[in-house]
Chain A
Amino acid sequence: MTHPSHPAAGLIRPVRQSSLCVGLLLLLGALMLASLNFGYVDIDQSDLIRAAFGLSDPSTNMIVQQLRMPRMLLAVMVGMSLGASGAVLQGLLHNPLAEPGTLGITGAASLGAVIAIYFGFAATTPLSLPLFAMTSAGIATLLLLFVARDNGRTLTLILLGVGISGVSVALTSLAMNLSPNPWAVSEIAMWLLGSVRDRTFQEVNLAAPFILIGLIMLMACAPSLDILSLGEDSARSLGLRVGRLRILAIGGTSLAVGAGVAVSGSVGFVGLMMPHLIRPLVGHIPSRLILPSAIGGGALVLAADIVVRLIAVGPELQLGVLTSLIGTPFFIYLVISLRKRMA
């Protein structure tokens, strides 16, 4: 019997998926407004909404549209990608610890992006940044699935993730080590910590199409993941085309996570935490987990990005640092609560 005994299993009554999504969307909306509200300049609430549509005075319009909107949108996009891919990967691999970060997909995407920056492709062709990140994320995901086919055990996959992350970190360090320009090194280092600060609509436009397609592909995995909870043989006997599901899941994860990492660096553990928090609310049904996890992921990253702006600690805390600070203890807690089934 392999299943994650969720700490809250049986204690929390499932709620309707539609009410859950509406609730999460309201939360996300409130956080979006709050995100636009925070910054060096105080802007009146009513002015804020007018400025978002370009109807306020030119300087307020610029602050809201050029500085705060891209940051807010990127946080939402990146969070949605991570939440949805975490939910799909956990369902696909029957693995409660699966998420882009723990499986090394985020690390691989970062390596791809660093390669694009290091060799100067990103400077000449901005599109190469997400393309390199997505390709590398895709290679990592394919490798994981190849191993999962023969041995999908939780420990094996997580260890493989550690391996992929290790290789990515080693090669990223190599690039930084060999870099002739110290400014480039510090830029790569800061970028790797994960942030949506000082981004423009150029980054939003670069990532949005890929993230959108990725999210659609991830959502399309939903019905198949339910059948897959019976194991692959039973799922196939119920008419599931496993190959098609894998393509959707790998493709969706690579596009969404790769494009997100390309513009925000690595923001960890959102894909791990969100599905776990949502799962008992949807009766553990994998198909009902993806959309709420995506919306919740967007809200979580946005909230984290608001918090980093509120904590005044000299230089602004990087977003990825904060999510790791929260996410790592969560990961350890999950490992401990699942340890009996990990053997």
Chain B
Amino acid sequence: MTCLTLTNVHVPIGSRTVLRDISFRASGGEFIGLVGPNGAGKSTLAKALASLLPTSSGSININGQCLTQFSPKDSAKNIAYLAQGDIVHWPLSARSIVALGRRPHIDAFGSPSRADQAAVDRAMQRAFVGEFTDRDVTQLSGGERARVLLARALAVEAPIFIADEPVGALDPRHGLNIMALLREEANRGVLVITVIHDLALATRYCDRLIALRDGELADDGPPHQVLSPRGMAAHYAVEGHHAAHDGQAFVLPWRPL
């Protein structure tokens, strides 16, 4: 099973240290939400985990091997990263976008094998975008495009899946769909780590939340602990409304403190 270990990780952006002394362990099958106010360093942590930002000290290990020792290709095979937003610069077909997820598995000038094609089919099926195969992604709705880009990241079939605010700009229905999909990935043994602002979705779907504040790890535990009334006050300076529906607890930000 995949094991991700962070030990005293510091991440600078330019001359400023944005993340300080972050340590935690996570393993395959967990669905972890990164929570905290704007500017706390959530996206920075997501990028550092995807080895898009260098650490200045400390180490990030995957199954005991330091991330810095991975070649870009090996790192790409092990960590799928879903960026914030829905950037696609050209009007490409949905399938050709999803197929880009297989690039880490193909030689620079090689073409996708049958196994790669099958992985693309699986990813498209899982994200319910099979019907868009030949459609121009720029003509799809925001929610549909988000699912295509999610399928692109799923197609990597990496043991670790990092997502930076995958539901940030989506309507409730698409947001629920995406969270259910990520939950399913975790159930299949993938370690899923996602930056998330929607606390109701975070409490419902994640097993564990890591709260960041001013670039430091403020709390790490199950949702009811991290987003307890005290936690809501400490991390967000808001009062939360804690409730349950269908036997599942959730929290809504209620009023600023």
Known: A223-B109, A238-B76, A240-B72. A230 touches B87 (CB 8 A): yes
On chain B, the number of residues with a Cβ less than 8 Å from chain A's Cβ atoms is 37
A9 to B136, CA, bound (A): 9
B91 partner, pick from A237, A239, A240, A284, beta carbons under 8 A = A284
Select which of B75, B88, B96, B138 is within 8 A of A285 by beta carbon: B96
- Do B76 and A239 touch across chains, with their CB atoms under 8 A apart? yes
Q: Does A54 contact B (CB under 8 A)?
A: no
| Docked complex: B114-141 residues within 8 A CB-CB of A | 136, 138-139
Pick the residue among B81, B86, B90 that contacts A237 (CB under 8 A).
Answer: B81
Q: Which of A1, A2, A237, A283 contacts B96 (CB 8 A)?
A: A283
B residues 149-177 touching A (CB-CB < 8 Å): 149, 152, 156
Report, as a range, how many residues of chain A touch the other chain.
20 to 34
Least distance between B42 CB and chain A CB atoms (Å): 15
Within 8 A of A (CB), among B66-122: 71-73, 75-77, 79-83, 85-93, 96-97, 100-101, 103-104, 108-109
**Nearest B residue (CB) for A226:** B100
| With contact pairs A223-B109, A238-B103, A241-B72 given, residues A233 and B89 touching in the complex (Cβ less than 8 Å) | no
A-B contact count (CB 8 A): 98
The distance in angstroms between the C-alpha atoms of A227 and B90, with both chains bound, is 11
Bound CA span A302–B202, Å? 62
A3 within 8 A of B: yes
Whether the pair A234, B138 counts as a contact (CB closer than 8 A) is no
Partner of B90, one of A238, A239, A286: A286
Residue of A2, A3, A4, A286 with most partner-chain B CB within 10 A: A3
State how many angstroms separate the Cβ of A285 from the closest Cβ of chain B.
6
- Tell me whether A237 and B79 are in contact (CB under 8 A): yes
Complex Cα spacing A285 to B100, Å:
11
Cα distance A5–B90 when bound, in Å? 8
Q: Is B243's CB within 8 Å of the partner chain A?
A: no
By the criterion CB–CB under 8 Å, are B138 and A233 in contact?
A: no
A29 close to chain B: CB less than 8 A: no
Structural contact, B108 and A223, CB atoms closer than 8 A: yes
Residue in B83, B93, B108 whose CB lies within 8 Å of A233: B83
Q: Which residue of B lies closest to A231 (CB)?
A: B87
Interface bits B35-56 vs A (CB < 8 Å: 1, else 0): 0000000000001001010000
Q: Is A16 an interface residue (CB 8 A)?
A: no
Contact A229 B90 (CB under 8 A): yes
| Contact A236 B72, CB 8 Å, known A230-B83, A230-B88 | yes
A94 within 8 A of B: yes
Closest to B152 in A: A230
Contact B92 A239, beta carbon cutoff 8 Å: no
State in angstroms the CA–CA spacing of A222 and B109 once bound together: 9
Q: Are A229 and B92 in contact (CB under 8 A)?
A: yes
Are A237 and B76 neighbours in the complex by a CB distance under 8 Å? Answer: yes
**Prevailing SS type, chain A contact patch:** loop
User: Known: A237-B52, A239-B76. Contact between A6 and B91, CB under 8 A?
Assistant: yes
Of residues 230 through 254 on chain A, the ones whose CB sits less than 8 Å from some CB of chain B are 230-231, 233-234, 236-241
Q: Which residues of A contact B80 (CB under 8 A)?
A: 237
Considering the complex, give the chain A residue whose CB is closest to the CB of B43: A233
Residues of B within 8 A of A228 (CB): 89
Q: Whole-angstrom distance between the alpha carbons of A5 and B109 in the complex?
A: 28
CA gap between A226 and B104 in the complex, in Å: 13
Report the nearest B residue to A236, measured CB to CB.
Answer: B52
CB proximity to B under 8 Å, residues A162-197: none
Would you give the shortest CB distance from B41 to chain A, in whole angstroms? Answer: 16
Identify the closest chain A residue to B100 (Cβ).
A227
Closest chain B residue, CB of each to CB of A224 = B108
CA gap between A256 and B152 in the complex, in Å: 35
State which of A226, A229, A239, A284 has its C-beta within 8 Å of the C-beta of B75: A239
Given contacts A227-B103, A236-B72, contact A3 B156 (CB under 8 A): no
Residue of B nearest to A152 (CB): B89
Is A237 a contact of B100 with CB atoms below 8 Å? no
Query: What residues of chain B lie closer than 8 Å to A286, measured between beta carbons?
Result: 90
User: A10 at interface (Cβ–Cβ under 8 A)?
Assistant: yes
Q: 8 Å CB contacts to B: which residues of A3-29?
A: 3-6, 9-10
Bound together, the chains give a CA A226 to CA B152 distance in angstroms of: 13
Beyond A1-B88, A236-B52, 5 additional contacts (C-beta under 8 Å) are A10-B139, A229-B89, A239-B71, A239-B103, A241-B72
Q: Lowest 3 CB-CB distances: which A-B pairs, in order?
A: A237-B81, A239-B76, A94-B89
In the assembled complex, 16 residue pairs joining A and B whose CB atoms fall closer than 8 Å, in A order, are A3-B89, A4-B90, A10-B136, A223-B109, A229-B89, A229-B92, A230-B83, A230-B152, A233-B47, A233-B50, A237-B81, A238-B76, A238-B103, A284-B91, A284-B92, A285-B92
